[in-house]
Amino acid sequence: MLRSRAQKPCSVLGRSTRILVRCSDANPTERYVVEPASPPNDAGDEQLQPVASASLSQATCWTLSGMTLKELENFVSGMGEKPYRARQLYKWLYRPPVASQVDDMTDLGKLFREALASSARLHALSLREVREAQDGTRKLVYQVDGDSPGAVESVLIPASGRNTLCISSQLGCAMNCQFCFTGKMGLQRNLTAAEIVDQVTLTKARYESPRQASTQISNVVFMGMGEPFQNLDNVLRALEILLDPKAMGLSHRKVTVSTSGLVPEIRRYLRETSANLAVSLNATTNEVRNWIMPINRKYPLEVLLETLREEYARDARRGDKVFFEYVLLGGVNDSLDDAKRLLRLIAHIPCKVNLIPFNSHAGSEFRPSPLPQMEAFRQYLHERGVLVTLRRSRGDDKMAACGQLGNPGIGRTPPRMRVPDAFQKVLGTTPLQTRRSAGAQQGLSKH
């Protein structure tokens, strides 16, 4: 007999939840145990915490997205089910057609579906808004649960021969890179593995058509909001799902995680996943990098680059290259002297350099580098054998371009860094103006 033990509101699903109890193995209709009970695995990890603030004495809602196959096996075993049920769930969560609700999973028994519906949800995010730029780039704004302010933003960038999805790993960012709009939000919180994975599964479900190869999302880059290596556990778990052929099955060569340069995490990342690494470099002297990327005060250029030299020499990384991202800021880091220094800095590191035009945003003191200057920078590197591209800016009319994600109005804006004397003139600021501007930014963030 299927016993209903309680009718409680589920704070995530927002409806009455029946908690079922496994009464007996003898009769297949007498299946499910009660007790929202103890967590179904002993991993002790974040994903298996209830997504709502429910204590164990309350109805518990699990988020299935973001769970690895092993975690799903533990989950179904906690419901008294066989491991093959986990494989079924795994497929429905990550392989097309992705289930959007429990009833879509038609090969699961009715009782199992009922039990799932009452104790779990499939996804952590829901799509709130899509903003399409003139060039076809789409900014996707995903709603998160609970009390977190803000939203998760991803960007889908179509191009001939490939579609790239740029995803976020945090709500906001703590790194305070001076040229970045997201950095002005400060850090709200880390995203869970479910929230990272959902950006891919839900975007694929919405935009991919099985009959049109041109709609397939071929590349995923972690270059949206946040410093992925400050949320490395969840990023690695998400990567496991993105790369697993039985889940999303993306090629490790088509998935790239970008960091501002956290050295210990770079070492860990290179040992624990085969996905690509990108390093946001953006300067060729410590003076400039200390200013525009404060993380450089902890891990200066020579430490960062020596780490990469060592790591890529260690196992030749399957022939991989590190991608250096370099945002060209007019008068700051775009001179031929910078190009010469960059050539020396990256010597003996297997790499590709991506030059990125700066995308302006309100309140920024930086300006884009002129096109001829950017082209001369690219040409200098190219002629000396560096693999280098000058990226085209995409989606900036909808604030969907690189460095334009987020909502700085919702948090406390971190202080602006002092502009080195040599650059005061370039930026048209004085030390006093820099301090005033920082104060104005902080005032803005409070409202």
In the complex, which residues of this chain contact ligand SF4 (CB under 6 A)?
Answer: 173, 175, 177, 180, 182-183, 225-227, 260, 280
* Between 40 and 224, CB nearer to ligand SF4: 224
Beta-strand pair 138-143/126-132? antiparallel
Q: How far is the CB of 356 from ligand SF4 (least distance, A)?
A: 11
Q: Distance between CA atoms of 132 and 406, rounded to whole angstroms?
A: 16
Catalytic pick from 71, 114, 153, 195?
153
Q: How far is the CB of 2 from ligand SF4 (least distance, A)?
A: 49
Q: Distance between CA atoms of 6 and 150, rounded to whole angstroms?
A: 34
Q: How far is the CB of 183 from ligand SF4 (least distance, A)?
A: 3
Check if 402 is active-site: yes
Q: How far is the CB of 393 from ligand SF4 (least distance, A)?
A: 15
Half-sphere exposure at residue 430, Cβ-oriented, CA atoms within 13 angstroms: 2
β partners of residue 153: 141
Axis-axis angle for helices 336-345, 371-383 (nearest 10): 40
Three-state helix/strand/coil letters over 394-435: CCHHHCCCCCCCCCHHHCCCCCCCCCCHHHHHHHCCCHHHHH
- For residue 36, whether the previous peptide bond is cis, meaning omega lies within 30 degrees of 0, is no
Catalytic pick from 61, 166, 173, 402?
402
Check if 71 is active-site: no
Angle in degrees, CA 273, 145, 95, rounded to 5: 45
Q: If we measure between CA atoms, which residue out of 57, 48, 55, 60 comes closest to residue 13?
A: 60
* Between 177 and 217, CB nearer to ligand SF4: 177
Q: Distance between CA atoms of 88 and 69, rounded to whole angstroms?
A: 10
Q: If we measure between CA atoms, which residue out of 72, 237, 34 comes closest to residue 63?
A: 72
Q: If we measure between CA atoms, which residue out of 87, 72, 122 comes closest to residue 101?
A: 122
Q: How far is the CB of 434 from ligand SF4 (least distance, A)?
A: 18
* Between 68 and 182, CB nearer to ligand SF4: 182
Please say whether the beta carbons of 80 and 25 come within 8 A.
yes
Q: Distance between CA atoms of 355 and 339, rounded to whole angstroms?
A: 11
Q: How far is the CB of 404 from ligand SF4 (least distance, A)?
A: 10
Classify residue 319 as left (phi > 0), alpha (psi -120 to 50) or beta.
left
Q: How far is the CB of 259 from ligand SF4 (least distance, A)?
A: 8
Q: Distance between CA atoms of 299 and 150, rounded to whole angstroms?
A: 30
Alpha-carbon distances, residue 206 vs 202, 216, 223, 265 (angstroms): 6, 11, 21, 33
Axis-axis angle for helices 301-314, 263-272 (nearest 10): 20
Q: Distance between CA atoms of 332 and 369, rounded to whole angstroms?
A: 9
* Between 173 and 388, CB nearer to ligand SF4: 173
Q: How far is the CB of 102 from ligand SF4 (least distance, A)?
A: 35
| Residues assigned a catalytic role | 153, 402
